[in-house]
Amino acid sequence: MNNKVVLAYSGGLDTSFCVKYLTEDRNMEVYALTVNTGGFSKEELEAMEKKVYQLGAKSFKAVNAVPDYYERCIKYLIYGNILRNNTYPLSVSAERMFQALAVVEYANEIGADAIAHGSTGAGNDQVRFDLVFNVLGEELDIITPIRDLKLSRAEEIKYLQDRGVDWSWEKAQYSINQGLWGTSVGGAETLTSRKALPGKAYPTQLSKEEPATVSLQFTKGQLTGVDGTTYDHPTEAIKKLQELAGPYAIGRDVHVGDTIIGIKGRVGFEAAAPLIIIKAHHLLEKHTLTKWQQYWKEQLANWYGMLLHEGQYLDPVMRNIETFLEDTQDAVTGSVFVRLLPYRFELEGIESDLDLMNSAFGQYGEMNKGYSGEDVKGFTKILANQLKIRHLVHNER
C-alpha cells in the first residue's frame, strides 16, 4: 500500500473537506485532479491549485477534457437532437461521465491505491462516479467521505476551522454548475414542485433586446460555422454562439426527471447554445433526411440519452447507437437561420444543396409534377384495402 488517493477535486467545500480529511485523518497522499469540461477559467484553476496545496494535497493537476468530451459525447447529443424528457440537454450528466473517466485514468496511471469524490448520498453523481471507478479502476478502493460520514455543511466547516482552515464558505443562494453544454442552477425553489426559479437565479442576465438573425453552418451534422465564419473545431463554434445568444437570456427552463436512485428531482438550467444548436440541427434534418431515418433516429437517440443520464456510457450498446447516429449525418449539411429575441429564439429556415423539399416534384398544397391525380386515386384505393377488410370483418361480427 502506497496510500495514494486520487481525488476528483472541484474546489468547493465538499472536496476541500475531503483533502483535509484524507491527509490528516486517513494519513493518505492526496493527488487532486480537476477535470475541466468547459466550466473553469485559467484564473479559477490557478486559485484552486493554490488552495489545494494549502489544504495539504501532495499534488494538483488540471486536465482540459473539452475536446474529448465533444468528440466522444456532445456531437452524438447533437446528432440525436437529445433533450431529456424533451427539455434538458443533459448538461451535468454528460460531463460527469467524462470527469469520472479522466479521474480513473489518472489513478491507474500513477498507481494509486484509492480514488475519492465528494458526492453526497442523495443524487445521481455518486452512482456515475462509482460505476466508472468500479468498471475501469485497477483494484481501487472508492472513498466518499461526505456520503460515508453523513456530514452536514456546518459540520464540514467546523472540521476545517478546527484545523486552521478558516476560509469563507458562505453558501451561495443557488448552486451553479457550468460547462460547455450548459449550466445547471439549483436552489430552494427547485426543491419544491410548485415554485419557479426567479430571474435573478440565472447566472446570465438579459442585456440585449434588439432582435438579430444568426446563421449556423452545419457540415455532416456538426456545427462548423457561425454567421459565415468557419471555426477550427466545433467547440469554438459552440462558444461563439453562446457569446451571441447568452445576452438574450435564451435557454432558461426547469427540468423534472427521474434519478438513477429512484426519486424524482428538479433542476433549473440555462443553455442558450445547446438548445439553439439542437433545434436548428433538427430542422435541417427535417429537410435532408427521409421520414424513416428521422423516426429511427428518434427512437435510438431517446435510449442513448437515457442510458447516458443513468451512467451507462461504458455499455457497448452506446457505441452501436453512436455508429448509427453518425451514419445518418452524411446529408445533414447546410445553413440554418435563427432569430434571437429576449428569452427566446425562432427558427426562420434553412438553405442546403441536399434539401429534399425539391420543387421539381411539386409544392405541398399547390402543384404536383411527379404524379397525376389518377395516380393518387389508385394509390389511395390500394392503401385503403387493409382498413376496408378490417372494417368489413368487424361489422359482420
| CA separation for the pair 333, 390 (Å, rounded) | 44
User: How close are the terminal C-alpha atoms of the chain, in Å?
Assistant: 79
Q: What is the model's pLDDT at position 363?
A: 67
Domain enclosing residue 89, as ranges = 4-162
Q: What is the model's pLDDT at position 127?
A: 97
Q: How confident is the model at residue 359 (pLDDT cuts 50, 70, 90)?
A: low
Residue ending a domain, among 133, 162, 191, is 162
| CA separation for the pair 44, 53 (Å, rounded) | 15
- Answer whether residue 1 shows pLDDT above 60: no
Residue ending a domain, among 162, 196, 225, is 162
- Answer whether residue 290 shows pLDDT above 80: yes
- Answer whether residue 329 shows pLDDT above 80: yes
Q: What's the pLDDT tens digit per position in 168-184? A: 888 778 989 999 999 99
The verdict on 157 and 188 lying in the same domain is: no
Q: What is the model's pLDDT at position 122?
A: 85
In a domain, 344, yes or no: yes
In a domain, 153, yes or no: yes
Q: What CATH number does residue 39 fall under?
A: 3.40.50.620
Cβ pair 200, 107 in contact under 8 A: no
Specify which residues 99 forms β-bridges with. Answer: none
The verdict on 157 and 215 lying in the same domain is: no
Q: How confident is the model at residue 395 (pLDDT cuts 50, 70, 90)?
A: confident
Q: What is the model's pLDDT at position 171?
A: 76
Residue ending a domain, among 162, 196, 217, is 162
| CA separation for the pair 3, 105 (Å, rounded) | 17
Q: How many angstroms from the chain centroid is the CA of residue 137? A: 24
Q: What's the pLDDT tens digit per position in 80-118? A: 999 999 999 999 989 999 999 999 999 999 999 999 999
The verdict on 121 and 24 lying in the same domain is: yes
The verdict on 204 and 247 lying in the same domain is: yes
Strand ranges across the sheet with 182-186: 175-179, 182-186, 264-270, 252-258
- Answer whether residue 396 shows pLDDT above 90: no
Q: What is the mean pLDDT of residues 309-314?
A: 96
The CB density around residue 356, as the number of other CB atoms within 10 Å, is 13
The verdict on 103 and 41 lying in the same domain is: yes
The verdict on 183 and 132 lying in the same domain is: no
Specify which residues 84 forms β-bridges with. Answer: 88
In a domain, 387, yes or no: yes
Q: 59: closest CA among 98, 19, 10?
A: 19
The verdict on 258 and 392 lying in the same domain is: no
When mean pLDDT is compared across 114-123, 166-175, 325-334, the lowest value belongs to: 166-175
In a domain, 188, yes or no: yes
The verdict on 27 and 106 lying in the same domain is: yes
In a domain, 373, yes or no: yes
Q: What's the pLDDT tens digit per position in 191-225? A: 999 999 999 999 999 999 999 999 999 999 999 99
The verdict on 340 and 194 lying in the same domain is: yes
| CA separation for the pair 337, 212 (Å, rounded) | 10
In a domain, 169, yes or no: no
Q: What is the model's pLDDT at position 169?
A: 83
The verdict on 132 and 200 lying in the same domain is: no
The verdict on 263 and 131 lying in the same domain is: no
Q: What is the pairing mode between strands 344-351 and 362-363? A: unpaired
Give the alpha-carbon dihedral of 300, 185, 117, 83, to 10 degrees: 0
The verdict on 133 and 25 lying in the same domain is: yes
Nearest-10 crossing angle of helices 42-54, 13-20: 30
Cβ pair 8, 117 in contact under 8 A: yes
Q: What CATH number does residue 342 fall under?
A: 3.90.1260.10
Q: How many domains would you assign to the chain? A: 3
